[in-house]
Structure 1
Amino acid sequence: MNDLKTNTLSESPLRGVGGLDIEIKGKPYTIPNSWEALTPEQFVHLAGLLRMYAAGVLSMSDVRLRFVIFVLSVDMRYIPRKHEDTIAQNLYLLQSKITFIFSIRYPKDVWASLSPELRRIARKTEPGDLPDSPEGRVLRRAEYIYELDACFAAQLLPDLTIGESSYPGYTVNTSCALLSVSLTARQYVDASECLSGIAKNPELLPLLAAILYCPCTYSPDRAHGNAALFASADPATLEAVALNFQALVLMLFTKTHFSILWQRGKDTGKNKLSVGLKEGIYALSEDGYGDIDKVGDMSLTEYLEILRKKKIDAVRTLHSADMKLSEIAEKTGLDINTINSII
């Protein structure tokens, strides 16, 4: 696992920033086909559609169709009746080519039997459109579901406008295959805790926005005080803020070398070295990195790098003490493959 030792991003976060180029009555259009290619307006609209999808109001195809209609500014009310069927067929064909919003998930046993190349294709391709091969025929017979595929490192809402005031948000930079985020450690921890509670309490959405778009130096009290102000924002915009941050969290969880910080064993109560991010602020303060405020004001990437180094050092210390790999896994929450890549 080279990403444990070198690259911050284990794969490029820009998974194709282009789109679908089409021509309508001689006028060229591009329909975005990646999260990173969306404009703020397109992202907010899509977030609103996904909210209705989560509520069971829209299907997966409805989301993609309405997204295409919005991007192309098609007003279905003014389409002549004689062209309705043709327009509907063309829109349906276009929506079927929008692959970035959702991915396809198959049962684990079926997925494990596929070649890496077919896995890459099958995540985004309907079973009926897969190459005719023994593996393809297996997938055509298997059950599958669609799931949201929002895992990216980008800031799609650089600022939020509330009334006549504009509030700049955190920045994300992925140039040179490295990741940097302007969030502080405390800001990220507070936002993560807020995000985890939104499913049960949607009223936390304005607080999340207030944390992520806190003016000047981040302060929990200042963010809490601004929550009522952000509550006046458009609901779809607040959903977009949450979706954008959730995608960044997922990217850190799964696509960067920081992923070892979120690995947990079967019994987390026994993982004495599996320190949570909030507890990590206190742990680093106790280790002499400064008082709690100083550690909390660290840049997010600096904070995560220190926690990652401490975890790797702990693994190597335990290994040098001749501890069994299974015992190291139990204490750290890391799987055996990850431990082997470290030692």
Structure 2
Amino acid sequence: MRQKLAHIFRLGLKELTSLRHDTVLLLFLVYAFSVAIYMPAAGSLLGVHNASAAFVDEDHSQISRRLAESLQMPEFQPPLMLSHDQIDAALDSGRQTFVINVPVNFQADLLAGRQPELQVNIDATAMSQAFMGAGYIRRIFQSELYAYTQQSPQQPATLASRALFNSNLESGWFLGVIQIVNNVTILAIILTGTALLREREHGTLDHLLVLPLTALEIMLAKVWSNALVVVCCTWLALELIVRGALGVPLTGSMPLFLGVTALYLFACTSLGIFLATLARSIPQFGLLAIPVIIPMLMLSGGTTPLDSMPVWLQNLMQFSPSTHFVTLSTSILFRDAGVSVIWPDIAALAGIGLAFFLIALARFRRTLAA
């Protein structure tokens, strides 16, 4: 047993040495855990931010001016005042996403209790801004109109919303962690798959076969070495980029998260080895990995909540390790969940990883025998 462990350790060192001399992969690692995390998290906002708006004030009343002034930064740009015949041109050119038209006698009809209507024209080609911005405008205008008429909305109960773990609803906090999850998935599959195929193309794998080594030892060496690299890069990215540059308060246990990451890498590296046994070259492996990686990223719950998907797809994605890793990442880092809370996902991730490893090992042995 001690000799087998020594073989696994030395083969892992060989993998690390090979990676150290691969300049392209090293640059990709640096990019994936720095720029590729910071830019989407800092620049991509899921809510309404700096939306362009314009006002057509046909009433010229105190309430119409008050409504125009209620659209403020950072959600909306200062509204541009337009005439009625400029509405179509402003929307057609894409200069304005929202154009609010306040009709004549709007204030008089409001004070008389006639429930007047105002028109909000929306450029729906900017889909996310249009969908959420309409709700923003409705809530802002309702608040202003109730305050102006000194009325309160007739509701049977008062709803008090409290946002936990992210009180200001900063989308960048979530995006930074999800980018790390996505990059870990990509790199775990690509690093192990390309390492195996590179050895096959260069003839290194044939040299290993004449040594007293087994397929299990070769696989375990690739798993621990690549997992070590990705775990270290993940820790540095969390500390320097997510916590440092983005200012995200990560309240959970870092050792627990890194341990879960290592378990996730066990599953993904096994999947990468399995895909490499199906491909005959690195370009073919890349084409084969695309339809595997993209569904893992898009349907894991990081991009779209699982609850929004069809039930059959939710059940199917429970067999993907990325689904459980997204849940574990947000639970540990944001909600400070302990093992007593997240153990079902840890057990599911371990089971999926073991299944992937055994399938990849059987396929790897078959290719070596051939």
TM-score (norm 2): 0.22
> Could you say which structure has the higher strand fraction?
1
> Could you say which structure has the higher helix fraction?
2
TM-score (norm 1): 0.24
- Larger Rg, first or second structure (1 or 2): 2
